Amino acid sequence: MNGSTVNDEPVNADAVKASAVQTGASATDAAGAAAPASRNRANAAKAHERERRRGRGAAMVALLLMAIAFACVLSIVFGSRNVSAGDIVRAIATSSNDISAAAIRLRIPRTVLGILVGASLAVAGALMQGVARNPLADPSILGLNTGAAFAIVCSIAFVGLSTPIQYVWVALLGSSATAAAVWAVGSMGRSGPTPLKLTLAGAVLSAVLSSLTAAILLPRVDVISTYRYWQVGGLSGARFNLMLPIVPLLLAGFVIAFLSARSLNTIALGDELAVGLGLKTRATRVTIWVGAVLLCAGATSLAGPIGFVGLVVPHAARLIVGSDYRRIMAASALMGPLLLLVADVVGRIITRPADVEVGIVTALIGAPVFVTLVRRRTMAQV
């Protein structure tokens, strides 16, 4: 009996050890099986979130495209003389020369110009706000509109230019030269072109050019009468022969803008972190600046200095799609034409048969909207 009991103890100890080893192995196997399952669930959740965002983005794009199409119809239908759908079809399909057909043929290039200028100014504003890391950056604030105006006034007063196609190229030259001057002044010093220096350089040059423009205009009534129609900013002088030479410049600006979206996301993190991530910040800023200049100089040369589009639209896009510049660029390119077309239609309706130029309407719409956007953004950050 005693021997049997003594002999059983080692057997029981071995059994306990074996059981413990088996239990540990089972726990390890269970943990190993649970880890891939957890990763799979996390990946599935991320994939679901991506699909949800993609679907929401597609729905937003479809909605904006439908809104733009509706705004285009309104732009063709409403004016000093309203036209019907039948008039539109007849004007496009035939060579009718009645008043309705003539009105439609004038409004179609006006609508196309509204789309081009709206998209260009909105995307240029998004580029400038991103590269300067300044939410107030905009073609008018950085002096590009003032540079175009100064160039046109000089061309009228001292060279005698008088045709719209000449104004287009002179305005393009003036905006581009001003942009180069802003960049040169903002790049002075060891730190290079910082956001603050670019903004201050734009404000200073804008003030100087505005003063020079006023000095030229005051004694020259003949120049004022020619210049004032361009100064307000509008779409009434739209013609396809004026647009076609500028379209390649706008397309180049759009290509630069959309290719630079990822770089803008990196710049938003700060220069030190951007350099640490391998981004050549100086070369990238120059490239983005060139794209913004092509867009806003081309748009300003065609339609004059239209304000608030490049300021308000990127903010509205940011509120809707978030801080990713890839989405901001796409949303701005769609929301800009929508804002400009609606503003143009409103300007044609409120004082019929006369037109209120779209630059005045965008200022009236843009100022309160911008204040509202800034307040909402501030409250969201509190």
Look at the block and give the residue holding tokens 């901001």: 328
Would you kindly state where each structural domain of the chain is located, as residue ranges? Answer: 38-76+83-381
Helix (H, G, I), strand (E, B) or coil at 268: coil
Q: Which residue has the higher pLDDT, 331 or 228?
A: 331
**Among residues 74, 99, 77, which one has the least CA distance to residue 88?**
77
Rounded CA separation 235/111 (Å): 8
Kindly state the helix (H) or strand (E) to which residue 235 belongs, with its residue range: none
Q: What confidence tens digit (pLDDT) does each residue in 348-379 have? A: 888 777 788 888 888 887 777 767 756 765 55
User: Does the pTM of the predicted model rise above 0.85?
Assistant: no
Note whether 120 and 332 are within 8 A (CB).
Answer: no
Q: Which residue has the higher pLDDT, 45 or 159?
A: 159
Residues in the chain: 382
Q: What confidence tens digit (pLDDT) does each residue in 302-350 have? A: 888 888 888 889 988 988 888 889 999 999 999 999 999 999 998 888 8
Rounded CA separation 312/146 (Å): 19
Distances (CA, A) of 369 to 73, 313, 330, 339, 373: 25, 10, 20, 12, 6
Topology, domain 38-76+83-381: ABC transporter involved in vitamin B12 uptake, BtuC (1.10.3470)
Give the pLDDT score at 5.
46
Note whether 79 and 348 are within 8 A (CB).
Answer: yes
Give the pLDDT score at 7.
47
Mean pLDDT of all residues in the chain?
Answer: 79
Rounded CA separation 370/367 (Å): 5
Burial of 252 (0-12, 13-18, 19+ CB in 10 A): middle
Percent of the chain with pLDDT over 90: 18
**Among residues 53, 233, 64, which one has the least CA distance to residue 149?**
233
pLDDT category, 40, cuts 50, 70, 90?
low
**Mean pLDDT across 102-123:** 88
Q: Which residue has the higher pLDDT, 187 or 253?
A: 253
- Is the confidence at residue 151, as pLDDT, over 80? yes
